[in-house]
Amino acid sequence: MPELPEVETIVADLRPHLAGRTIVRCELMFPSIVRHPEPELFIDSVAGMRIAALRRRGKYILIDLENDLVLVVHLGMTGHLRLVDADAPIEKHTHAIFILDDGRHLRYHDPRRFGRLLLGTETLLRAAKKMPVLGPEPIDVEFAAEELYQRLHKRRTALKAVLLDQAAIAGVGNIYADESLHRAKLRPDRLARTLSRKSVQRLHESLRESLLVAIANRGSSVDTYRDAWGDMGGQQEKLMVYGRAGEPCFTCGRPLALIRIAGRSTVFCRRCQR
C-alpha cells in the first residue's frame, strides 16, 4: 500500500497541474469505487467544480474543491492516480476519469479495487465514518518527540503495531515502520510503553529521516506503486530491512529475522535491534 512518501510524491506531482483547473465531468466505469455519496450524486456534484488545492493527510489525497467540498482519494493497495492526455489509451482497471477544462484526464486505476473515492466536507465525511480520525503527521515540524513519547507510553502493545495505527501516527505503513525501527535500533515487538524518552527521541528522529529520504527519492516501488506519470520511485534501492528477510544485515551481516506483528510481515535484525 502506498504510504506517506508515495502519496506525498503524487500530490506534489499533481499540484501544479491541477490547482486552478475545473472538472468538466466525471465518468465512472466501476461505480462502487465511490463510497460516499451515491455514485450518481458524486458525478453530478463534481461536474463544473474548480480545484482550489491539493494536499495530503496521512495516506489520503485531498483535492479541495469549491464550497468546502473535498474529493478524497485513497489508493488502497494497488490504486494509481495519473494525469494523462485525452487520447492516451484507457488502461484496464481504470475505474474513474475526471475530464479537465484543459482537455486532459485525471484517471483512477485500481486492479484490486481496495481504494476508494469520497466527496463531501471533511466534517461530514468524519461524521459519516467514511474517513477515520488520524493522528499527527510525523514529518510535521510541530510533531515533537515528547508527543510521540506520550502516545507510545499509553500503549500496551508492540511498538510496530502502534506505528501502523493511523489514529496514533498518520501515514506510516509496513515499509517505513520497519525502516524507522531499524534506524532507531529498536525491536519491533518491544512493548511501546517501555521505551525511555531517550529511545523515543531516537525513534522520532529516525522516523522523520526515513520518511523525508523516501520523499526525496520519490517513494518505494516495491510492488505496484508508480508516481503520477507512471514512473517508479527510487527508495526501494535503499531499503535497509523491508523485504530482505533472510538476507544479511547491512550493518552486522547477520541474517535478518522475519516475524508477524499486527498481521504484517516484519523484518528486523536481532543483533542491531536489541
CATH number of the domain encompassing residue 229 = 1.10.8.50
- Per-residue pLDDT for 1 more than 90? no
The reported pLDDT for the residue numbered 195 is 98
Boundary of a domain, candidates 127, 154, 178: 127
- Per-residue pLDDT for 45 more than 90? yes
2, 5, 138, 188: the active-site residue: 2
In the chain, % of residues over pLDDT 70: 100
Q: Is residue 174 part of a domain?
A: yes
Instruction: Provide the pairing of β-strand 116-120 with 264-268.
Output: unpaired
pLDDT in tens, 121-133: 999 999 999 999 9
Residues 120 and 150 in one domain: no
- Give CA–CA dist 254/184, Å, rounded: 17
One-letter amino acid identity for 186? L
- Per-residue pLDDT for 274 more than 90? no
- Per-residue pLDDT for 223 more than 90? no
Q: Is residue 228 part of a domain?
A: yes
59, 151, 183, 202: the active-site residue: 59
Residues 114 and 44 in one domain: yes
User: How many domains is the chain partitioned into structurally?
Assistant: 2
The reported pLDDT for the residue numbered 92 is 95
Q: Is residue 153 part of a domain?
A: yes
3, 6, 8, 179: the active-site residue: 3
One-letter amino acid identity for 161? A
89 is catalytic: no
Residues 170 and 206 in one domain: yes
Residues 177 and 112 in one domain: no
Range of the domain at 152: 145-268
59 is catalytic: yes
Residues 119 and 226 in one domain: no
Q: Is residue 58 part of a domain?
A: yes
Place of cell 529498536: 186
Place of cell 471533511: 122
3 is catalytic: yes
| Mean pLDDT value across the chain | 97
Residues 50 and 165 in one domain: no
Q: Is residue 56 part of a domain?
A: yes
Q: Is residue 138 part of a domain?
A: no
104, 113, 208, 264: the active-site residue: 264
Residues 117 and 164 in one domain: no
pLDDT in tens, 231-265: 999 999 999 999 999 999 999 999 999 999 999 99
37 is catalytic: no
Across 218-243, average pLDDT: 96
Residues 112 and 224 in one domain: no
The reported pLDDT for the residue numbered 239 is 98
Residue 91 phi, psi dihedral angles, 5° rounding: -70, 155
One-letter amino acid identity for 76? G
Which cell is 31 given? 461505480
pLDDT in tens, 90-132: 999 999 999 999 999 999 999 999 999 999 999 999 999 999 9
The reported pLDDT for the residue numbered 62 is 98
- Per-residue pLDDT for 70 more than 90? yes
- Give CA–CA dist 217/240, Å, rounded: 14
**Of 261, 258, 256, residue with least CA distance to 272:** 256
